[in-house]
């Protein structure tokens, strides 16, 4: 018997990466999951106002809209919501300012709405992945070789566990929040190999 028998899951962004792994795991188990993520608009300057608008539309506004639409159904079924955020919601990055801002806002949206929805019997929680072996970099316009070098450098130098996470590991974290964490609401589960804790030590001669 699966953990989600008889449940209907709404999983966005499920054609690849974390969304796909989550869809497969949820199918095996038998809960609404919002999963959308882009660093920015292809071809746009990282700091342009068009990129700002686009990044917030995809990473934040889409989740708010989908949540609002799903509330009547979730109230009837006593379902729950798991948002997929990012470690960059917690640890800023100068190369992705609007992405960091959008994901930080998404985290706080989850906390605020957990208070709004609690008396309706609806839980809302958030998973914050770190560096994960998805096609995120390629979709952002990086060449596969660049992505490989970037992943290797970040994993070896910044992640205390010395490796990237897998999509299936993040999917398991999402499943835990959806099915097992029945007394958790407004919570963030960070699954990042410790990267947000990393603080380089100074080197002395």
Per residue in 127-159, pLDDT (tens digit) is: 999 998 866 555 556 677 887 888 888 888 999
- Percent pLDDT > 90 in the chain is 56
Would you name the residues annotated as active-site residues? 99
CA distance 11 to 28: 14
pTM here? Answer: 0.86
Q: How many CB atoms lie within 10 A of CB 82?
A: 27
CA distance 143 to 149: 10
pLDDT on residue 24: 82
Give the pair of three-digit tokens for residue 69: 């639409």
In the chain the beta strands, taken as DSSP E runs, fall at 10-11, 32-34, 80-84, 123-129, 188-191
> H or E stretch including 101?
helix 97-117
Q: Is the dihedral of CA 141, 145, 148, 149 positive or negative?
A: negative
Give the pair of three-digit tokens for residue 32: 């609404």
Domains in the chain with CATH codes: 10-134+166-193 (3.40.50.720)
Segment 54-58 shows an average pLDDT of: 93
Segment 35-56 shows an average pLDDT of: 79
Which of 32, 7, 2, 35 minimizes the C-alpha distance to 167? Answer: 35
For 145-171, letters b (16+ CB in 10 Å) and e give eebeeebeeebeebbeeeebbebebbb
Contact yes or no for 49/55 (Cβ under 8 A): no
């Amino acid at each position: 018997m699966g953990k989600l028998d008889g449940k209907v899951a709404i999983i966005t962004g499920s054609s690849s990466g974390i969304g796909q792994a989550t869809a497969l795991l949820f199918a095996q188990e038998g809960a609404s999951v919002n999963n959308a993520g882009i660093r920015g608009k292809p071809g746009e300057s990282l700091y342009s106002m068009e990129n700002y608008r686009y990044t917030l539309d995809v990473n934040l506004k889409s989740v708010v809209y989908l949540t609002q639409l799903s509330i009547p159904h979730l109230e009837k079924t006593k379902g729950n919501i798991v948002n997929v955020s990012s470690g960059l919601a917690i640890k800023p990055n100068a190369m992705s300012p609007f992405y960091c801002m959008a994901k930080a806002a998404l985290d706080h949206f989850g906390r605020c709405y957990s208070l709004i929805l609690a008396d309706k019997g609806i839980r809302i929680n958030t998973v914050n992945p770190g560096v994960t072996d998805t096609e995120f970099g390629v979709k952002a316009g990086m060449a596969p070789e660049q992505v490989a070098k970037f992943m290797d450098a970040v994993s070896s130098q910044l992640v205390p566990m010395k490796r990237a996470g897998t999509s299936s590991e993040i999917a398991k974290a999402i499943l835990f929040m959806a099915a097992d964490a029945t007394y958790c609401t407004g919570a963030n589960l960070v699954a990042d190999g410790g990267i947000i804790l990393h603080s380089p030590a100074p080197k002395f001669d």
